Structure 1
Amino acid sequence: MPGNIVTFTSPSGGTGLSTLAAMLAWSLSSMDLRCALVDADVDGGGLDVLLGIEDEPGLTMQELHAPLGSLDGDALNLELPVWEHVRVLAFAPWRGEAPDPWEVQAAVHALAGANRVVLVDAGRGRSLAEAPDLVSGMHLVGVELSVLGLARAKAHLARLRREGAGPPLAVGFETRGAPRGAGIVALAEAADYLGITVLGPIKADARLCGGILEGLGIESIPRRNRKTVEGIAVRIARQAGCDPDDEGGP
């Protein structure tokens, strides 16, 4: 199994997981690591809209055809739209039916062979069971730093373990709209409750959120989160066997 695949999941929708995956892909590409970003959130999708590239020409998940369960990674790379030097395979549910699980598996496997790192936004993780590369690869779990968010995260982590996933990398997200920080659980408390290290926190950013809602995409990595995002990106690169200082090509 490829060792350069990172699967992103979260038990709660709307935490900012997709945005984090995109910012990490951007950060990795800025390290000269060839990177692909895959939208395997079959319950939601819309990664191209989040990035503001929905009108760019290129292949989407609905247009994949892998009748024999395999695809050519280099050829697939050339057919994808590019955002900030990152190849993007998006899923637009309003354009057609969700891909079959073996097509998701085939796309991820092919891109893993043609890129240094592949980041897969799997939403709540419904597509994991029938995509072996998503289970066997690295896992990043988005955790909402609230009492309810942590309870959901504990159940989500238990499900990942039952499905055979390895130890995850957890990232805490501050709850958006919390008045003056009220109701936000500290990272140390979250780590103690979940029994794993929780990196972060990823702080809500009104300007970033506004840009996405207006269809402008992610125009920059917010300063308040830049150091955290870059640190996680370096950690992912090293776990994927990449030296961030190596020349990997954009």
Structure 2
Amino acid sequence: MTNGRTIAVLGGGTGAGATTLVVALAMRAHAAGRRVTAVDADPCGGGLDVAFGIETEPGVRWEDLLGSDGPLDGERLAERLPEHHDGPTVLSFGRQWCAVPEELFERTWTGLQQAQELLLIDVGRQALASGMTERVDEVVLVARGTATGLAAAGATAQQLQRAPRLVVRGAGRSIAREAATALDTELAAVLPTDQRLAADTERGIPPGSRGRSAYVGACDVLLRDLLLPEEVAA
């Protein structure tokens, strides 16, 4: 079986919106009929399952995989992961902090790649330091469209061993293009501000659930034209 496509998404500084984008892209990919799993690689991020509104759903979290050895059956694991009632499966940290050994992450990742069409990894600073972003198909760097947000994205990009694709949130396209030029990287998308996202999250409604919004429309274009380029070429 051909391995699924793996996309790492990381934020340029605090509050960039990387987790929100991971959730939205996962929801939109699932809505398009794709087998997709969102993977939490940030033990200090509060839990990706919370962002999906499924923190009370039963299923395997990272702490349940600690102590396992040998290859992991991705199909079986995907079946045991919590999932949104109309969304993708999610491998998240629970409410207790735990350290996931790099070899466990890689075994889990390899198994899921063989079972799913798309893995979206919410990359935290720990994963960034481990060099994880060097081993994925694409790296998407999310930046707030402010002076400090773009400066933080620049500092983050300097830690990467490859050029990321830049997504700028809440800025005009001209500013976003200037930022991409300054970072010597490709501008993948400009995401509009959506005031409903924060309110939806508080109510357990994951980003990307609403079929009609400028933010969702931008995510659909990003998913089609950037994250799944082999299908665009076809």
Q: Where does residue 159 of structure 1 map in the other structure?
A: 159
**Whole-Å separation in 1 of the counterparts to 2:144 and 2:97:** 31
Task: For residue 122 of structure 1, report the CA deviation from its aligned partner.
Answer: 0.9
Deviations 1:58-94 (A, max 9, x none): 11112113543531111111110122341111112x3
Q: Where does residue 90 of structure 1 map in the other structure?
A: 92
Q: Counterparts in 2 of 1:18-33, with a 5 A limit?
A: 18-33=19-34
TM-score, length-normalised on structure 2?
A: 0.86
Q: Where does residue 186 of structure 1 map in the other structure?
A: 175
Q: Which amino acid aligns with 1:86?
A: P
Task: For residue 2 of structure 1, report the CA deviation from its aligned partner.
Answer: 5.1
Task: For residue 34 of structure 1, report the CA deviation from its aligned partner.
Answer: 0.9
Q: Where does residue 107 of structure 1 map in the other structure?
A: 108
**Whole-Å separation in 2 of the counterparts to 1:3 and 1:195:** 28
Q: Which amino acid aligns with 2:58?
A: P
Q: Secondary structure at the match of 1:200?
A: strand
Aligned residues of 1:117 and 1:237 also touching (Cα < 8 A):
no
Task: For residue 204 of structure 1, report the CA deviation from its aligned partner.
Answer: 2.3
Q: Check 1:73–1:3 CA distance in 2 against 1; reply closer, same or farther (3 A cut).
A: closer
Q: Check 1:185–1:90 CA distance in 2 against 1; reply closer, same or farther (3 A cut).
A: farther
Q: Where does residue 178 of structure 1 map in the other structure?
A: none
Q: Which amino acid aligns with 2:109?
A: V
Which one of 175, 190, 196 corresponds to residue 185 of structure 2?
Answer: 196
**Whole-Å separation in 2 of the counterparts to 1:169 and 1:142:** 9
Q: Where does residue 134 of structure 2 map in the other structure?
A: 135
| Count of residue pairs brought into register by the alignment | 230
**Whole-Å separation in 2 of the counterparts to 1:200 and 1:210:** 23
Q: Where does residue 215 of structure 2 map in the other structure?
A: 225
**Whole-Å separation in 1 of the counterparts to 2:224 and 2:46:** 26
**Whole-Å separation in 2 of the counterparts to 1:221 and 1:210:** 16
CA RMSD of aligned residues (A): 2.7
**Whole-Å separation in 1 of the counterparts to 2:215 and 2:143:** 16
Identity %: 26
Q: Secondary structure at the match of 1:7?
A: strand
Aligned residues of 2:4 and 2:114 also touching (Cα < 8 A):
no
Aligned residues of 2:51 and 2:201 also touching (Cα < 8 A):
yes
Aligned residues of 1:42 and 1:127 also touching (Cα < 8 A):
no
> Higher mean Cα deviation, 40-49 or 184-193?
184-193
- Unmatched segments (≥5 aa) in structure 1: 176-180
TM-score, length-normalised on structure 1?
A: 0.81
Q: Where does residue 121 of structure 1 map in the other structure?
A: 122
